C-alpha cells in the first residue's frame, strides 16, 4: 500500500515541535506494516540541502505566484518529495515566521501550495506514482482533503496534532486556491465568512484522527474544540484517537549518542552521572535531592504561567529545577525572577537544544508537563523510556500514557508517574508534594522508574492502527 504523507515539518530536517517527530518516525513504523510512505514537504533550505539522489518529478509553470519543481529523493532514510518553490519556501529560520516574529504574510499561499501539490501527487500527476491514501497533518496540509474531494483524488486522512492552530484567512484568499465555488460552503472551507484550512480538512476528509483517545473526546466539547467542536461531533463516526509513539532508535537510553554513551545505559545507577552533568550545565547546587526537569514552550497552553507561580513552593519541597524553553516574555521574566530568589536551586536555559533535551531526560528525576491541554505529548514518553518520572496534568494524551501513583496504583504496582487536575497552583503544588514524598522512599521511586521504562512507547501498536485505518478506507 502506498501512502503520501503531507506535512510542513519532518524530523530531522525541519522541526519546531512534536509534529516533526511524528512525521519523521511514523514512516519506518508503517513500513513494518506493509505500508510504503512517501512524505511531501516544503522545499525549505534545510530540506533541499539534505536531499540525496534528487530527481525531477514534476514541474509547475506557476504554483501560487512563481515556477516550482517537485523533486523526489531521500534523506535520513525517508522517501521525500520536496516542493522546490523558492518564492514560497527559500527563507531562513522558522518555517512559519519572519525575523519580526510574525507570520509570513503569504502563509495562505505557501501552505495551499503544499496541500495542492500533495493532492495532485497522490492523484497521479506523475504516472510513475499514485497513492492509495493521502494523509495530511495539521492546518498547513489540511486543504489536501478539500482538493481531493472537489477536484478528485484518493481517500484521505486528516490528523489534528493541535486544534488550537487552524489556519484561518480572509475570504479573499479563496479566489487564489483554484477550487470550485461550491467549496466555499459549510461542507467545505467556509468558516464564519472566512476561509478555514483546518475546518475544510475536517469537513472533507474520509477519516479524521487525532493523537490520543482522550483528546479525541475533548475536542468534541466547547472547552477544547476551539470552535470546531460542533463539526467534530457531527463527524464523530469518522473520528478516532491514535496515541503517538516515539522513535525508539533516536530515543534509546542504551545507545543515546547525544549524551556520553557510557552514561546512557538503562541501568538506573548510571543516571547519577547524568545528574551530575545536569547540575553543572544548569549551575545547580550538587546533591542527591530531586531535580525536576522542564522542556517546554513557555506558554499559557503549556500551563507555564501556573508553573512559574509555583516555583517558590517547588523549592520549598527541597527540590531543584532545570528548565529549557522559550516563549512568552512575561512567563520567562517570572521564572528568571524566581531563579534570582533561589540561586543554585533554579537553573534556566532559554532556547531549544536537542542534545540538552536528551541529557535532561537522562539526568533529571522528573519531567514536568503541566499543560492546560495536550493533544498527546511526547516529552512524557521520552521520560518513561529514560526512567525520568512524568508529572503531568490529567488531560489529552498525558492522561492516556501516564498511570497516576495513587495508593491503589502503587499497591498494585502499576503506577508510572503523577497526574493532577485541574491546572492551578494548588493542585500543582500538591502534586509536587506527592512527588517529594514518594522520592523520599527509594523503593517506591525505583518501582516507578522501572515500570515506566518497561512501557511500550514505540510506534508499533499505533502504526498497526494507522495501517488498518488505511486498509479500511481503501476497501470502503
- Tell me phi and psi for residue 187, to 5 degrees: -95, 20
Per the CB < 8 A criterion, the answer to whether 184 and 191 are in contact is no
**CA atoms of 85 and 97, how far apart (whole Å):** 17
Q: Are 153 and 134 in contact (CB under 8 A)?
A: yes
The Cα 393–Cα 321 span in angstroms is: 18
Q: Give the whole-angstrom CA distance, residue 314 versus residue 436.
A: 9
443 is in an annotated binding site: no
**CB neighbour class for 410 (10 Å; exposed up to 12, middle 13-18, buried from 19):** middle
In sequence order, which residues have a C-beta less than 8 Å from that of residue 105 and are 6 or more positions away?
Answer: none
Q: What is the DSSP letter of 268?
A: G
Sign of CA dihedral 10, 12, 16, 21: positive
Whether the Cβ atoms of residue 78 and residue 85 lie closer than 8 Å to each other: no
- CB atoms < 10 A from the CB of 32, how many? 12
Alpha carbon distance 352, 190 (integer Å)? 37
Mark out the alpha helices in 283-319 (DSSP H runs). 304-309, 311-316
Sorted by sequence, the CB contacts under 8 Å of residue 468 that are 6+ apart come out as none
Rounded to 10 degrees, the C-alpha dihedral 222/225/231/235 comes to -110
Where do we find the cell 527563507? 91
Cα 135 from Cα 148, distance rounded (Å): 11
The C-alpha cell that represents 386 in the structure block: 529514560
b/e code 90-113 from CB counts within 10 Å (16+ = b): ebeeebbeeeeeeebeebbbbbbb
DSSP, collapsed to helix, strand or coil, labels residue 198 as helix
What grid cell was written down for 132? 492509495
CA diameter of the chain: 68
Strand partners, 366: 292, 389
Q: Which residues are annotated as a binding site?
A: 15
Q: Which residues are annotated as a binding site for ADP-alpha-D-glucose?
A: 15
Amino acid at each position: 500500500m502506498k501512502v503520501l504523507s503531507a506535512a510542513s515539518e519532518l524530523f530531522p530536517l525541519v522541526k519546531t515541535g512534536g509534529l516533526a517527530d511524528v512525521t519523521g518516525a511514523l514512516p519506518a513504523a508503517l513500513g513494518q506494516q506493509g505500508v510504503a510512505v512517501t512524505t511531501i514537504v516544503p522545499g525549505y533550505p534545510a530540506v533541499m540541502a539534505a536531499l540525496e539522489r534528487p530527481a525531477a518529478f514534476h514541474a509547475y509553470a506557476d504554483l501560487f505566484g512563481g515556477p516550482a519543481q517537485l523533486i523526489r529523493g531521500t534523506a535520513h532514510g525517508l522517501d521525500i518529495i520536496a516542493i522546490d518553490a523558492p518564492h514560497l519556501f527559500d527563507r531562513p529560520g522558522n518555517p512559519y515566521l519572519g525575523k519580526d516574529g510574525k507570520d509570513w504574510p503569504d502563509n495562505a499561499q505557501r501552505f495551499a501550495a503544499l496541500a495542492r501539490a500533495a493532492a495532485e501527487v497522490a492523484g497521479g500527476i506523475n504516472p510513475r506514482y499514485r497513492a492509495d491514501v493521502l494523509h495530511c497533518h495539521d492546518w498547513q496540509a489540511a486543504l489536501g482533503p478539500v482538493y481531493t474531494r472537489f477536484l478528485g483524488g484518493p481517500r484521505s486522512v486528516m490528523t489534528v496534532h493541535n486544534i488550537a492552530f487552524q489556519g484561518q484567512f480572509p475570504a479573499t484568499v479563496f479566489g487564489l486556491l483554484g477550487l470550485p465555488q461550491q467549496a466555499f460552503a459549510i461542507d467545505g472551507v467556509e468558516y464564519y465568512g472566512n476561509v478555514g484550512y483546518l475546518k475544510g480538512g475536517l469537513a472533507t476528509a474520509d477519516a479524521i484522527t487525532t493523537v490520543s483517545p482522550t483528546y479525541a473526546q475533548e475536542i468534541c466539547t466547547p472547552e477544547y474544540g476551539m470552535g470546531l467542536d460542533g463539526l467534530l461531533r457531527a463527524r464523530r463516526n469518522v473520528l478516532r484517537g491514535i496515541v503517538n509513539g516515539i522513535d525508539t532508535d533516536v530515543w534509546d537510553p542504551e545507545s543515546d549518542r547525544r549524551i556520553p554513551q557510557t552514561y546512557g545505559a538503562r541501568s538506573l545507577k548510571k543516571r547519577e552521572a547524568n545528574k551530575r552533568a545536569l547540575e553543572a550545565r544548569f549551575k545547580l547546587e550538587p546533591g542527591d535531592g530531586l531535580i525536576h526537569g522542564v522542556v517546554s514552550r513557555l506558554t499559557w497552553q503549556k500551563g507555564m504561567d501556573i508553573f512559574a507561580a509555583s516555583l517558590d513552593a517547588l523549592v520549598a519541597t527541597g527540590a531543584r529545577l532545570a528548565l529549557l524553553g522559550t516563549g512568552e516574555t512575561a512567563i520567562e521574566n517570572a521564572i528568571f525572577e524566581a531563579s534570582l530568589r533561589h540561586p543554585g536551586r533554579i537553573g534556566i536555559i532559554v532556547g531549544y537544544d536537542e542534545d540538552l533535551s536528551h541529557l535532561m531526560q537522562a539526568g533529571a528525576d522528573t519531567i514536568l508537563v503541566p499543560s492546560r491541554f495536550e493533544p498527546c505529548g511526547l516529552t512524557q514518553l521520552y521520560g518513561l523510556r529514560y526512567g525520568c518520572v512524568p508529572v503531568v496534568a490529567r488531560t489529552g494524551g498525558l492522561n492516556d500514557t501516564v498511570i497516576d501513583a495513587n495508593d491503589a496504583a502503587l499497591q498494585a504496582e502499576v503506577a508510572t508517574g503523577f497526574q493532577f487536575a485541574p491546572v492551578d497552583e494548588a493542585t500543582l503544588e500538591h502534586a509536587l508534594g506527592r512527588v517529594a514524598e514518594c522520592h523520599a522512599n527509594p523503593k517506591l521511586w525505583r518501582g516507578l522508574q522501572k515500570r515506566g521504562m518497561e512501557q511500550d512507547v514505540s510506534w508499533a501498536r499505533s502504526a498497526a492502527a494507522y495501517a488498518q485505518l488505511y486498509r479500511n478506507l481503501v476497501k470502503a
